[in-house]
Amino acid sequence: MRFDRTTRKIFASGRDWEFLRQVAKLRSHTTVPVLGLWRENNDEFLWQRIMSQTYNRGGTGWSDVLRKKGLQDTFYKSVSLSKLRTLSSERALKIYVAEQIRTFHVGRFPKDNTRSVAANLATFTDTTGHLTHLRKQLDELDCTASSIGHEVQESERKARQFLMEHLVFYQNGKKYHVKRKPPSDFLIDVGFARTLIPFDTRMKKVFEQVFHIKVSEEANYELIEDFFVAEVFPVLNLTPAEFDRIIFQHSKELLPS
């Protein structure tokens, strides 16, 4: 795969297309979130997936361990909206969240994650403790009933931009707004997005090892998404979101050893 800086377009070779066809064959063996999940579920569903982006920073191993022990639902219930809203102060909230993270061995950055939970609870919830603004944005930008194309892509990117402006993480004690990966992942998880790609470490490895292209937030992130929507989807009926989930679930089969 080649990134032409002059035309600002992505070009794929015959070998690239061979790999993409191999990926497409695994679609029927891959779990992809159903469209419209956020409409069918309550705020606890959205909150859990917002916070998953925080806890998963640095890896998802903790989640796999809790799932195997049958404790994943117990942990999420302990840090649910309904529970966190009962805490009387920000200090009490942080002490409680830190205790849950420590008890369940969640994530690699307990102190930063505790601050992130508190910050995002304050940002996303209204005075009644609901995720009204987030839900309104998703409803207004909803394009799940439309055929994939430029308009759908633009709506999904507006939703991603909204999340980039609101979702925050802490790293080494410093607060920062997220880039494109966490919001893209969240929007796929809640059944909103089809044209976005969450470029995590695994996905970047695919593009470097298979396509020989380095993914850059500033230079080509959205150009790669454009390539998938304009070139790959019409040929293989493979959406960017499906491509992401296939790579995540079948990386051992697809990546060079």
Chain-centroid distance of CA 79 in Å reads: 20
Name the residue with tokens 């966490």: 182
Q: How does pLDDT run across 160-213, given as a tens digit for each residue?
A: 999 999 999 999 999 999 999 999 999 999 999 999 999 988 889 889 989 998
- Structure pTM? 0.93
Measured N-to-C along each axis, helices 240-254 and 14-24 cross at an angle, to the nearest 10 degrees, of 90
Report the alpha-carbon distance of residue 213 to residue 224 in Å, rounded.
10
Q: Sign (positive/negative) of CA torsion 73, 139, 37, 33?
A: negative
Angle ∠(21,24,26) on CA atoms, nearest 5? 125
- Check pLDDT > 80 for residue 8: no
Indicate the pLDDT class of residue 253, thresholds 50, 70 and 90.
Answer: confident
Report the alpha-carbon distance of residue 126 to residue 111 in Å, rounded.
25
- Check pLDDT > 90 for residue 9: no
Q: Which residues on neighbouring strands pair with residue 170, listed in sequence order?
A: 175
Structure tokens at 223: 């150009």
